[in-house]
Amino acid sequence: MLEKALYGSKGYYVWILLLLGLIGLGSIAYYTQLTQGLKITGMSRDVSWGFYIAQFTYLVGVAASAVMLVLPYYFHHYKAFSKMIILGEFMAISAVSMCMLFIVVDLGQPQRLLNVILHPTPNSILFWDMVVLNGYLFLNIVIGWTTLQAERKGVTPASWVKPLVYLSVIWAFSIHTVTAFLYAGIPGRHYWLTAIMAARFLASAFCSGPAILLLLALLLRRLTKYDPGKEAIQSLAKIITYAMCVNVFFFGLELFTSFYSNIPGHMHPFTYLFFGLEGHGALVPFMWAAVVMAIGCLVLLIPPALRNNENILVPALLMLVGASWIDKGLALLVAGFVPNMFERVTEYAPTIPELAIAMMVYATGALILTVLWKVAISVKKEIA
Amino acid sequence: MGINRREFLKIVGISAVAGLGGATAVDLLRRAPVEASQASPNPKALTAKRWAMVIDTRKLTEADCQRMIEACHRVHNVPDIGTKQEVKWIWTEEYEHAFPDDMNEFVSDEVKHKPFLMLCNHCDQPACVRVCPTKATFKRADGIVMMDMHRCIGCRFCMAACPFGARSFNFGDPRPYVKEENRKYPTRMRGVVEKCTFCTERLEEGLMPACVEVSNGALIFGDLDDPNSEVRQALRSNYSIRRKPNLGTQPCVYYIV
């Protein structure tokens, strides 16, 4: 089926070339990082993780795009998602691939990566994160590919695929939970040390992942005339709305516990994010933008009349993605490190090479997504 | 009886997996041969069940601290980078930053402005060891939290996990920043995490840690499990505090104030 990705319109080739160009540009920055080390990034002794790990965290959430379709489709036989489900599974492949690439580009000694497998360490959450991410990647490749192939041949998928589908739903919850445990099990980082972290990850994932999927599906419909169906779009929008409500609610719970308890260590990261601390407030404008976008998208998403109007749905989803990205792809990480273990403030901002490397990874993910979706759409059109 | 291509490939695949897995299993089961270093321990080596340090802050001035920092960083080839990507094994902090949970509004002027030496606490329950995905940082039987620089993949999970900010990452090649290389101790490469090791290499030769040696008795180093050790005596007869004891990591560096 992969050969379907080799033939396309002129626009398709231009897009592929553009992505390859971006990957090439980013590779130059990555080569510099490989030869000089992570000193070309904005990370420091105090903020020792940065943009890469933040993107990894956000993209784990994006990988959830699949489960919000797979669960209703297979567990509740909700057939409206039948044309969209393959898009979700293939987007999960792309997102998990980006997750892994972001981990690799963050390593100081990437050539020693296999030490994680050569010296397996079950007490490290990072070990388990590797297990669940690889597992989820594998599940989505196998399920997505075999179901698409069966569809192409006009037969039902092999009987062994069904158990894997059920497993993938449960597995999807594990990738968020385990990734949240990376943060939530660390003593001394107040912003992360919260039992609700995994729940927040799930809520954030279940709104942002499907939101990105829906935006891309709408774009796809415009470009290729592949219509996932009105009901599917509206149902997914409803799921996204519920998940975003829960996401914002959970964030409010964090605010309550921190500020009503009045414990300084718990308040400091929030104060830093929203008002700045000791004269440092790099994230303040971002945080307030996130607040405005979060409220704005809920205002547009909650009333069905607005949500079901695609001219309103699209900007609402864009705001949702913006808000959730600032929350999870930026603030979550930085506020764990600021203030530092000595209650001092060292700020972090990514450098140009760091952003170029991140762009390389995003472009790689986009390339994977383009190729997989191209295959899926071609097959669907072939059998239609 | 013939087999078709599909069956043939299945058999080949299963055999390959079984072959690889079997070989690994045999490797794991075979006892590793004794290494040279295990054969003859240095009879002069200092040993303990649980190494610990007591810092008598009453006896320390900023100049004393600088002398110890200098001694440590020189003997361990710690680079002097001077940016926020710095590497340091031992340094000083003010009271309110060293003990940020101890938020007394008013402290004596003496304590408030006194330098407190910061170094790895060699915790009994080290968070860094718990999170390391490769066992590159590990706890020795004598309580020292050690680093294997050759195994570290540079993921920096340990830096996120350490509540004491004891760890440094080599963002770039540290060697150009080592002023005078001590040939007896290895330099590090970029991309690995490092920290204080309680001078394991000196203990093996029967020497006290470098900072203790130049401390004029302000730093006491010994076995916390031995009731008659110097550290236990010091803790018995003086009031001492530790950094962030509420986190349950059980730091093994005590401060007499």
Pairing of strands B51-56, B253-256: parallel
What is the mean predicted confidence (pLDDT) over A101-116? 96
> How far apart (Å, rounded) are the C-alpha atoms in residues B149 and B160?
18
Q: Residue A7's pLDDT band (boundaries 50, 70, 90)? A: confident
| Range with the poorest average pLDDT among A26-35, B14-23, B221-230 | B14-23
Closest Cβ opposite residue B171 in set A38, A109, A115: A38
Contact criterion met (CB below 8 Å) for A251 and A327: yes
- CATH assignment of B51-256, given 3.30.70.20, 3.10.180.10, 3.50.50.60, 3.40.50.300? 3.30.70.20
Closest Cβ opposite residue B131 in set A103, A116, A126: A126
Contact criterion met (CB below 8 Å) for B231 and B223: yes
Tell me if chain B has a CB within 8 Å of the CB of A265.
Answer: yes
Give residue B83's pLDDT.
94
Give residue B15's pLDDT.
79
Closest Cβ opposite residue B247 in set A39, A41, A187: A187
> How far apart (Å, rounded) are the C-alpha atoms in residues B192 and B48?
28
Please write the tens of the pLDDT for every residue from B113-135.
899 999 999 999 999 999 999 99
Contact criterion met (CB below 8 Å) for A382 and A151: no
Contact criterion met (CB below 8 Å) for B144 and B122: yes
Please write the tens of the pLDDT for every residue from A231-265.
999 999 999 999 999 999 999 999 999 999 999 99
Taking contacts as CB-CB distances below 8 angstroms, the residues of chain B near A182 are 157
Other CB atoms closer than 10 Å to residue B160's CB: what's the count? 24
Q: What is the DSSP letter of B256?
A: E
Give residue A97's pLDDT.
96
Among A residues 12-41, those touching chain B with beta carbons less than 8 Å apart = 36-39, 41
Backbone angles phi, psi at B144, to 5 degrees: -75, 130
Other CB atoms closer than 10 Å to residue B12's CB: what's the count? 10
Percent share of chain A, pLDDT over 90: 88
Nearby residues of B230 by Cβ (< 8 Å), 6 or more positions away: B220, B221, B222
Contact check, Cβ <8 Å, A45/B168: yes
> How far apart (Å, rounded) are the C-alpha atoms in residues A230 and A307?
12
Give residue B28's pLDDT.
60
- DSSP, collapsed to helix, strand or coil, labels residue B198 as coil
Among A residues 155-184, those touching chain B with beta carbons less than 8 Å apart = 182
Please write the tens of the pLDDT for every residue from B135-162.
999 999 999 999 999 999 999 999 999 9
Min Cα separation A196/chain B (Å): 19
Element holding B253 (H helix, E strand): strand B253-256
- DSSP, collapsed to helix, strand or coil, labels residue A130 as helix
Give the domain ranges of chain B.
51-256
Taking contacts as CB-CB distances below 8 angstroms, the residues of chain B near A126 are 131, 133, 155, 157
Among A residues 310-339, those touching chain B with beta carbons less than 8 Å apart = 336-337
Closest CA to B128 of B240, B247, B212, B254: B247
Strand order in the sheet with B51-56: B219-223, B51-56, B253-256, B240-241
Contact check, Cβ <8 Å, A49/B160: yes
Contact criterion met (CB below 8 Å) for A188 and B121: no
> How far apart (Å, rounded) are the C-alpha atoms in residues A379 and B24?
42
Contact check, Cβ <8 Å, B133/A49: no
| Architecture of the domain defined by A2-383 | Up-down Bundle (1.20)
Give strand pairing partners of B139: B145
Other CB atoms closer than 10 Å to residue B179's CB: what's the count? 10
Q: What is the DSSP letter of A340?
A: -
Give residue A143's pLDDT.
93
Nearby residues of A74 by Cβ (< 8 Å), 6 or more positions away: A162, A165, A166, A169
Which string of DSSP letters, residue by residue, matches A165-211?
HHHHHHHHHHHHHHHHHHHHT-TT-TTT--TTHHHHHHHHHHHHHHH
In angstroms, what is the C-alpha Rg of chain A? 21
> How far apart (Å, rounded) are the C-alpha atoms in residues A37 and A31?
9
Please write the tens of the pLDDT for every residue from B54-109.
999 999 999 999 999 999 999 999 999 999 999 999 999 999 999 998 878 888 88
What is the mean predicted confidence (pLDDT) over A137-161? 92
Give residue B35's pLDDT.
57
Please write the tens of the pLDDT for every residue from B6-65.
888 888 788 777 776 666 666 666 655 555 555 677 889 999 999 999 999 999 999 999
Contact criterion met (CB below 8 Å) for A49 and A333: yes
Give residue B38's pLDDT.
59
User: E strands within chain A?
Assistant: none
